[in-house]
Amino acid sequence: MKRIEVKLSLPVVAPLLDVMKSVADSLMGSLAVPLNPIEGDEEMHDTLQAELLGAQNGGVRSLLEMFDREFFETGMIAFDEENAEPILRACAALRLRMREQYLKTFEDESLESGDVEIEDLPEPMRHIFMCYVFLATIQELIIQHLDSEILEG
């Protein structure tokens, strides 16, 4: 099984985990991308909503599980073919929710280009934005380093 291990800086990443957990909690009962109502079929809407929510929560769980006791001892996180996809999706869900909850004041262009001076941001916005960028970095790592068989199969 192909596996990527990444060593992270504990002092940098550990403070971001609180932000991550708080955003993850807010996703427990609602979708990162709301489901449009299905005309005249409320039951189907509820079924799809529940399925999507189950998948979303599963992914978020996989993401948070990477930051376990081993991470706090060694600073290591690992991706493999089992957790890569759920983690990729979970990062997307968290980033979408962060944008909606905390980063509304940022221009779309600034967020897309990442052209934001982190040093100029006040707390707690600094940690929130750092977490937003960190999640994108995890996504890039997975996309770049796990081969196409795993991600595109």
Shortest Å distance, C-beta 100 to another protein: 9
- In terms of CB distance, is 42 or 70 closer to another protein? 42
On whether the CB atoms of residues 60 and 90 are closer than 8 A, the answer is: yes
**Which tokens sit at 17?**
């985990």
Is residue 133 a contact point for another protein (CB under 8 A)?
A: no
- In terms of CB distance, is 4 or 48 closer to another protein? 48
Q: CA–CA distance from 84 to each of 48, 55, 94 (Å)?
A: 23, 14, 15
Q: Which residues contact 14 (CB under 8 A, 6 or more apart)?
A: 72
Find residue 76's DSSP bridge partners: 7
Is residue 32 a contact point for another protein (CB under 8 A)?
A: yes
User: What residue ranges bind another protein (CB under 8 A)?
Assistant: 31-33, 35-36, 48, 52, 55-56, 88-89, 92-93, 95-96, 99, 108-109, 111-112, 136, 139-140, 143-144, 151-152
